[in-house]
Structure 1
């Protein structure tokens, strides 16, 4: 599959590009918002397309020619305010879902946030972020697309541990962290793992191999 990675220049996105390129099973296509980012990916032998999540649905759809699956791993970042969270994490995600449908693409993987489905678990300090993720996820689930929603715990820049816990009802684990590279590995594995289709699940470091954990969903 040709996989459009929205947010490819982010930390998870860059890991995912590298994983897909190395595995050779699917072709990564980077969706980025700066010309220099396009050049960076092209220098690595990765196709890149220039776009902006504040553009119209039609403009986003125009970047989806010959794409078979879309991964949304974009985010406004921790240094922005609630306005950008609304425009990128919520409306940008929704517009990407709408563009995917309009382009006739069926497969969509969303990177969300741990316990985004449970308002009682939201961190008050970043509540607008959880609101954005919650409603973007709901929009995707109601879209008729073949979705997978990955809700990772606290993201770390650690080396891959390679083992996870993935569950639609994970409870409250003592350690709810996970390396970003392992999130990217889960996304890559989820693309064509049928057990993840039309599923939303929380994700942390655990004891199961990635393929085993996903197939138990």
Structure 2
């Protein structure tokens, strides 16, 4: 069975994804920064690898993995320097390592306005620019990709219902972190997610149905 490397496994989306993968009996390796984080994720059933995105990434993290999920982030309380090092440069290094190890799918948890930073939220323009160029690097790498661009993240319970169409009002451009984790899981399990870019918002369709509909709409 495929093994998936989750980068950013100790983050809010990453932890929930690890839990979902453990329940589904999917082999998973969690990349974290320290032993304490590793212990917590091992209790969920994950294999762990200690590594720092601000340093060179170890071959051992990728060597036995067929898929990679990048859901790491510098967080809203850090400066632009950390955003560049983690959200951009860390992602670029991860994509390059995935290419080196012939990974069959790279799932990038990106951001709603990564496709058009110029017209995104001014206060986080630097973040959207970093996400834009991380996505661009993945698209140009030749690695099979899935790019997910969630709206404003919330901590409510999972709904299991989403839309990939951007709502008309900014107030509706939200999605729970739990639903994003479930969307990542869906992407890992179904081929229709390969080489696709989808925005994610809470909506009215079951996740699997929303993904299939998005592909159908793209095909016309």
TM-score (norm 1): 0.93
Q: Distance in 2 between matches of 1:194 and 1:41?
A: 27
User: RMSD value over aligned CA atoms?
Assistant: 1.3
Q: SS in structure 2 opposite 1:108?
A: strand
Residues 53 and 60 of structure 1 are in contact (CA less than 8 Å); yes or no, is this contact kept in structure 2?
A: no
Note the C-alpha offset of 1:28: 1.9
1:36 maps to what in 2?
36
Residues 108 and 147 of structure 2 are in contact (CA less than 8 Å); yes or no, is this contact kept in structure 1?
A: yes
Q: SS in structure 2 opposite 1:85?
A: helix
**Residues 1:215 and 2:216 aligned together:** no
**Residues 1:190 and 2:164 aligned together:** no
Q: Distance in 1 between matches of 2:203 and 2:81?
A: 35
Q: Distance in 2 between matches of 1:191 and 1:61?
A: 22
Q: SS in structure 2 opposite 1:142?
A: helix
- 1:30-50 deviation line (CA, Å, top 9, x unaligned): 100111111222233321110
1:1-217 to structure 2, matched below 5 A, reads: 1-24=2-25, 26-56=26-56, 59-167=57-165, 170=166, 172-173=168-169, 174-217=171-214
2:218 maps to what in 1?
none
The runs of 5 or more residues in structure 1 that have no matched partner are: none
The runs of 5 or more residues in structure 2 that have no matched partner are: 215-220
Q: Distance in 2 between matches of 1:146 and 1:38?
A: 28
Further displaced range: 189-198 or 137-146: 189-198
Greater than 4 Å deviation, 4+ residue runs: none
- 1:58-108 deviation line (CA, Å, top 9, x unaligned): x33331121110000000011110000000000000000001111121210
Residues 64 and 103 of structure 1 are in contact (CA less than 8 Å); yes or no, is this contact kept in structure 2?
A: yes
Note the C-alpha offset of 1:54: 1.3
- 1:109-129 deviation line (CA, Å, top 9, x unaligned): 000001210134311111110
Q: SS in structure 1 opposite 2:145?
A: strand
TM-score (norm 2): 0.92
Residues 146 and 195 of structure 2 are in contact (CA less than 8 Å); yes or no, is this contact kept in structure 1?
A: yes
- 1:125-144 deviation line (CA, Å, top 9, x unaligned): 11110010010001101111
